[in-house]
Homo-oligomer: A and B are copies of this chain.
């Protein structure tokens, strides 16, 4: 990646899932706000019309005089067209439809298994993974064929399974995964700073320096600071103060918004393990379901939510409507920074900056007590054509043991998919801590049911 000033004008971004009605708009606005970059974004989506609509929206944005980052958006009909010669590849897809996701999340409820998200681990995440791997096999092969030197940014869940599949198929791929859950915890820490250090100005979450370690959605800080201040003693006070009631910036929001929580899971995990859990409570809970997800009352007590897929379906309708309004001049795409880091990361990779931030990468030793090759989340340094993990150190052994179980299950899913061995997938499923409570026969029945519900995507397994 040896770009001259001229080439810089011609950056090629391939967007897989380019019809997306949320992530795509976030990228568009961030690109629009960045004066140092420009080029082409090729939008690929199995829903070509959605990509086409985003093409219109993106180009309209570029034409606005106040927009400093000028990009050309083009919807394309094939992966190869999108990827050929790409400098960056962004992958943000929904693996399957909400129909399959409905099964992932809600089928286990009949068996007394509740999931707050259902896209990462647990029965939902694992089955979703089994559906996702063949798609990522296709992506990896197409990337190898079309743009082997491109940097690949994944936003899709299950994060670890997606990235693992990419690296298994094309080991030299330059891929990493991004997730904003850590950012949310940094924001929570800005509240701690305000409350205990009396800081009055608005603090950016990027001013909270953290050492990140763990796996996606079960990520932790073992160091956190603000300027010259160690935040651990302050967070301890904060947790003690708000442990029972929880803490929310907008009080009571968790009862109205399926994505909100009162951070009680986070506080309880701090008491248990001494580290700051750095993801939303809905995600964290799924890694220790026997603590926070045993039944609906327990979920309510801990003040977080089981996000129903119906809500996602309804919300999609609104987004479709919105996309039409954006495309047809009825509404303007608001020009606010998304809070995501993709564009900053691209700048650094192009050589225009040095950036230290958290990402998901194969473990090369950055967390010495997790398995080598497992997809882990730590800080990394981004510079010209380079993303290198920072040594994050060891996890407390009990936390590590909890993660290793999920890592093992996620990796078994990838193996099951690559070797087309449904039995391996069942082994992962049975080893899941939410499933383990079911009698064997029930667990197998649930597995069969969930597999059946998603079989449209499992033809590769001979189903």
Contacts and interface: CB of A to CB of B under 8 A. Distances in A.
A228 B405 contact: no
Interface in A272-308: 272-273, 288, 290-291, 294, 298
Given A381-B381, A398-B428, A368 B369 contact: no
Interface string A346-385: 0000111010100000001110110100000001010111
Interface stretch (A162-170, A179-187, A430-438): A430-438
A124 B217 CA distance: 33
Contact of A272 (B366, B371, B401, B427): B427
A31 B351 CA distance: 31
B351 A385 contact: no
A207 B391 CA distance: 24
A404 interface: yes
Contacts of A393: 364, 388
B229 A386 contact: no
A233 interface: yes
Interface string A7-22: 1100000000000000
B430 A223 contact: no
Contacts of A436: 288, 290-291, 433
Interface in A194-236: 209, 211, 223, 225-230, 233
A94 interface: no
Given A364-B368, A400-B408, A408-B397, A230 B385 contact: yes
Given A368-B365, A391-B364, A397-B408, A228 B402 contact: no
A207 to B, nearest CB: 10
A389 interface: yes
Nearest to A229: B2
Contacts of A428: 398
A452 interface: no
A35 to B, nearest CB: 15
B3 A430 contact: no
A397 B411 contact: yes
A385 B431 contact: no
Contact of A230 (B1, B209, B390): B1
Count chain B CB atoms within 10 A of each CB in A3, A268, A412, A431 and give the residue with the most. A431
A402 B385 contact: no
A269 to B, nearest CB: 11
B351 A225 contact: yes
Given A223-B385, A365-B391, 6 more contacts: A1-B230, A2-B228, A229-B384, A364-B368, A365-B368, A401-B405
By Cβ-Cβ distance, the 10 closest A-B pairs, closest first, are A365-B365, A225-B384, A401-B408, A228-B351, A397-B408, A2-B230, A401-B405, A3-B228, A290-B436, A398-B431
6 contacts: A2-B228, A8-B228, A229-B351, A381-B381, A400-B404, A404-B405
